[in-house]
Amino acid sequence: EPEVTQTPSHQVTQMGQEVILRCVPISNHLYFYWYRQILGQKVEFLVSFYNNEISEKSEIFDDQFSVERPDGSNFTLKIRSTKLEDSAMYFCASRPNLRETQYFGPGTRLLVL
Amino acid sequence: AQSVAQPEDQVNVAEGNPLTVKCTYSVSGNPYLFWYVQYPNRGLQFLLKYITGDNLVKGSYGFEAEFNKSQTSFHLKKPSALVSDSALYFCAVRDIKRNRGSTLGRLYFGRGTQLTVWP
């Protein structure tokens, strides 16, 4: 059964550094999402992406964040200058169309020191 | 705005006993409701959803959920729990806001409930 994959599974970085979180959505899926979960808190929506552009972003998704689908298979989330409060589990999700359920990856645990 | 609440951080049940994981929601319009499960080191796995129709929805691994409009609840249930059901369970509601003619489909999640089934 096809799955959404994410790399790396864990990343530790220094405050102020740039990080890129990578996701490979299920092939033939057209809608892509990033969510995050700070330890002990809710899973929060960050951004949705369709047709090579952002469809919607939350208030969390400020100028430090960007997303890209560089090669038709990967979907990346970049944090330009990480802050301590960016430490969280980041989940990627995809779906083939808006009638279907979102399929989630295993997440990347980011720790900013 | 859409939101869900999971009032219990933890639920503990004995194997073979029925289990309930609670979820209440707040939406404008008709709710699209979901349950996801997360096993250690795995992603969020879809269990079941309610869009319309029968209030009792059946999903994977023997789970079911009951939609109750008057109580704005969507509790997850299983008649006989297994130790392997131990995991983190998330309730979610889907955004049905329209933008440029399309629904966007973002999910609003609860905080999650850790279910532990002991032998």
Query: Are A2 and A21 contacting, i.e. CB atoms less than 8 angstroms apart?
Result: no
A-interface mutation test, from B35, B44, B108, most A Cβ less than 10 A away: B44
Report the pLDDT value the prediction gives residue A40, as an integer from 0 to 100.
80
Gap between the Cα atoms of B104 and B119, Å rounded: 43
Report the pLDDT value the prediction gives residue B97, as an integer from 0 to 100.
61
* Containing structural domain, residue B44: 3-118
A50-106 tens-digit pLDDT: 989 999 999 999 999 999 998 878 999 999 999 999 999 999 999 998 778 899 999
Report the pLDDT value the prediction gives residue A83, as an integer from 0 to 100.
96
Instruction: Return the residue matching tokens 């249930």.
Output: B77
Domain residue limits, chain A: 5-112
Distance from CA of A18 to the nearest CA of B (A): 24
- Dihedral of CA A36/A39/A43/A44: which sign? negative
Report the pLDDT value the prediction gives residue A16, as an integer from 0 to 100.
97
Contact across the interface for A45 and B106, Cβ inside 8 Å:
yes
Residues of chain B with pLDDT under 50: 101-103
Count of structural domains within chain B: 1
Query: Are A91 and A107 contacting, i.e. CB atoms less than 8 angstroms apart?
Result: yes
Fold of A5-112: Immunoglobulin-like (2.60.40)
B88 interface with A at CB cutoff 8 Å: no
CATH number of the structural domain spanning residue B17: 2.60.40.10
